[in-house]
Structure 1
């Protein structure tokens, strides 16, 4: 078999899955329920966030929180302060790609 196959979790349980972590890119799958999210941090690469379901509440640098619905793709530059949260009732599901892969 030439291809590699990866399975993502299904359902509404909180998850932060490092699906692919290699020298080319990092591919993560995340699921958050209301009030859950990531600790505030600075992006360590170019970050591409796809909202698969729910509504993403995200604060970038010093701007106010913006909300993005399912079907939205965000491109966030390297060294951007990020505050990723689910402030809504519906489960939030994200695909996050970091490219190029962070060096550390």
Structure 2
């Protein structure tokens, strides 16, 4: 799979697709058109965001971080976050979660 082909942009809301879904690793591709955002949520695993196109604003626990193409941003488990594309151009990034959130749920319930 080439993540730079058939990018899952959507007209009304964020686009996304699973790239890898294994026991210890989940990689999602997120595509944001101008002014789109990922709704507020808490990181459900240890997360790394790898920006492949554009610039996004990542609000972590109330603090804004501007990240651009090529940047890697680490997010600690359970950190409150909102991701927004405030630019006029499209943005796309990978969300790399280790372990897979399904493993975090099993660990926390066991």
TM-score bin, normalised by smaller chain:
0.7 to 0.9
How many residues are matched? 98
Match of 1:98 in 2: 97
Local SS of the residue matching 1:89 = coil
Per mean C-alpha deviation after superposition, the further-off stretch among 13-22 and 65-74 is 13-22
Local SS of the residue matching 2:45 = coil
Select the structure that is richer in strand: 2
CA-atom RMSD, angstroms? 1.6
Local SS of the residue matching 2:83 = strand
Match of 1:80 in 2: 79
1:13 paired to 2:9: yes
5+ long unaligned stretches in structure 1 = 1-5
Is 1:60–1:82's contact at 8 Å kept on the other side of the alignment? Answer: yes
Per mean C-alpha deviation after superposition, the further-off stretch among 16-25 and 6-15 is 6-15
Is 2:16–2:28's contact at 8 Å kept on the other side of the alignment? Answer: yes
